[in-house]
Chains A and B, each alone.
Chain A
């Protein structure tokens, strides 16, 4: 129960932050290396966002598949659920993408991800004067605030807090 891992990507597709709490199936069994895993995750979301924009049944002039899509244009993809996990996604207007893998019974986490961005990422990362926007970062304050926030929302159990694996 709870969260498995979190990825934060910048506009260009580089993973600027990765943290895992509980990952029984190691990266080696999945994509191979952590870098490949992050690249595949980004590709998955990029394609799913385009897929949703084209499939949208309520949009009168939806984009054709393959046309470049601007950030925030078209129907936004929120999450997908598989039989073992649920993947929650949020893309903010600046292009930063947050991906949170949780157990499959989790409710709609769009507000949680938005609050995570507003209260934690912006406060501890963007407002940090030493931080170069779009670059990978490591911040102990960010990790502590993240863990506290997720525990508050009931997404993290005490025994799941592990060492950051960046």
Chain B
């Protein structure tokens, strides 16, 4: 599986959405909450330590067995996608996920901003998007 998991973090650093597309990628709930908050702080520290002015935070993290792409919106919401190191077109995929978020979450009249996302349509469409992406790349 090229795409392992998706995390959405609100602007205060709290995890509001977590979806694993692969069994091996499963992280315990408590750990995933902590990981999201840690990411939020690291994102901020990386921009503070930048040797060049105008840094907006970590966009890509490369490790041995996975890459983590981060897309930060203008409102401070972060979309993290854990993928295989050889995956391609991930920034476009993240942009599509953001479009699904704005359609099925933000436009949902019962959704409170900065709260946990519990929107069925968002889940279904994200699943569909990832499946279509994986079909296209394999």
Point out residues on A near B: beta carbons under 8 Å: 4-5, 20, 22-25, 29-31, 37, 40-41, 43-44, 47-48, 51-52, 54-60, 64-66, 75-85, 87, 101, 108
Contacts and interface: CB of A to CB of B under 8 A. Distances in A.
A51 to B, nearest CB: 6
B51 A108 contact: no
B8 interface: no
A76 B28 CA distance: 20
B94 interface: no
B6 to A, nearest CB: 12
Contacts of A82: 46-47, 50, 55-59
19 contacts: A22-B51, A25-B53, A30-B49, A31-B49, A40-B48, A41-B49, A48-B61, A51-B35, A51-B38, A54-B31, A54-B35, A55-B35, A57-B5, A57-B65, A81-B58, A82-B46, A84-B52, A84-B55, A85-B51
A54 B15 CA distance: 16
Contacts of B64: 75-76, 78
A57 B63 contact: no
A4 B52 contact: yes
A5 B51 CA distance: 8
A148 B27 CA distance: 45
Interface of B: 4-5, 22, 24-25, 27-28, 31, 34-35, 38-39, 42, 45-66, 68, 82
Contacts, number: 122
Contacts of B55: 82-85
Contacts of B39: 51
Contacts of A47: 38, 42
B50 A84 contact: yes
Given A54-B35, A65-B34, A101-B51, A78 B82 contact: no
B62 A80 contact: yes
Given A48-B61, A75-B65, A81-B59, A55 B27 contact: yes
